[in-house]
Amino acid sequence: MEQKRILLIIGGGIAAYKSLELIRELGRRGIASRCIVTRGGQEFVTPLSVAALSGDKAYTELFDLDEEAEMGHIQLSRSADLVVVCPATADLMAKANAGLANDLASTTLLATDKPVLMVPAMNVRMWQHAATIRNVAQLRADGVTVMEPDEGAMACGEFGPGRLPDVPVIVAEIEAALSGQASGPLAGVHALITAGPTREPLDPVRYLSNHSSGRQGYAIASALAAAGASVTLVSGPVALAPPRNVNLVQVETARQMLKACEDALPADVFVSVAAVADWRPARAATKKLKIKAVDTEAPAMELAENPDILRTLSNKRKHRPRLVVGFAAETHDVEAYARAKLERKGCDWIIANDVSGDVMGGADNEVVLITRETSERWPRMGKDEVARRLAGKIAAELGHDGGLKLAAE
């Protein structure tokens, strides 16, 4: 890491005080910091303290006559190996997503050609707000690395996700970004995930499908990638941006999904989240089916059973993943049906959820983790939090749990 340099943008939040510790820890590892302190950031740390620790001037103003005579914001944006935003406030992420450039920090983010790492810190409601969720998803789709915040008590007195990760965790992420190597408790693990619905064609314009949005599967893929895993996401048709650092394979039908999963093996863990159609039309029409007359009876439809992807991968003789996790979407007797499914499919865990309400397509989920020995009910939480907690459980099961922050039990 000798002679590596980051450009650190310090946002306006109470967690800004930790940026001073971050500068010092990076310096001990030979990583130099050049810093921009936003106007909000200056409410919590002073440019003088930042300059003293970094050994460089702290930059604060876009319209600095001395700096801008030489287009200082452009030089700042190109002078580092990595741009780090810490803390990344909801406001800074919203500006970056929208491409705004009304201060030095946002202008530099828009002008940079370097990788960008954002370390969020904000109130739990702000982190879970639909606007922030959209902004984070789009930033990741644009190639920005957005770390997951920690969960815990906050300065405002509330509890939940939104705390700045511990400084050693941030340092490790920066070192990994600078070295171009994956880091985290699941580094070296290949995770295979399925998500979304499948579509089984009736004719060229109609199909059988379901209401799955794919949000839970995409959240799990993102959480596993954030934990350092190499992730292959096999997805049915959804209206979601691909998670960052994930190999996305898009399919339509159940048979296509099975083939894509088998092609992706070997894998260390398989999480079957997709809502796969159990049946398909035995013969799809090559032309649009027409109604011949008002009094004509509805045409009979012959159905064929689709392949069972979860059972197929659970019972592989060769290349069976070390851990196979299924999902059981039920509307009643959830735990009983899920445990029966675990036995029938031959998988290791089942995540059971009640989809009789707003789970399919919604932002929250309430699940039960069922293993062969135990049942563990989790409270209702955002799908991103379900994903983080599951990533922690997977890391612990595979013996890769060092340093992974689990959601509160």
Alpha-carbon separation of residue 67 from 5, 108, 169, 297 (angstroms): 19, 13, 33, 79
292 is in an annotated binding site: no
383 is in an annotated binding site: no
**Residue 290 identity (one-letter amino acid):** K
Residue 156 is a catalytic residue: yes
Give the separation between CA 48 and CA 39, rounded to whole angstroms: 14
Give the separation between CA 271 and CA 232, rounded to whole angstroms: 11
Map residue 287 onto helix, strand or coil.
coil
Give the separation between CA 402 and CA 131, rounded to whole angstroms: 32
Q: What angle do CA 322, 407, 350 make, to 5 degrees?
A: 40
133 is in an annotated binding site: no
Give the separation between CA 94 and CA 88, rounded to whole angstroms: 10
Closest CA to 364 of 377, 355, 373, 374: 355
Place of tokens 């029966």: 340
**Residue 11 identity (one-letter amino acid):** G
Q: Which two tokens stand for residue 141?
A: 């789709």
The single residue of 86, 156, 261, 347 carrying the catalytic annotation is 156
Q: Which two tokens stand for residue 310?
A: 């979860």
Closest CA to 47 of 77, 19, 6: 19
Give the separation between CA 50 and CA 67, rounded to whole angstroms: 18
Closest CA to 8 of 65, 43, 55: 55
307 is in an annotated binding site: yes
259 is in an annotated binding site: no
310 is in an annotated binding site: yes
Peptide bond into 266 cis (omega under 30): yes
114 is in an annotated binding site: no
159 is in an annotated binding site: no
Binding site for CTP: residue ranges?
278, 288, 307-310, 327, 341, 345
Q: Which residues are catalytic?
A: 156
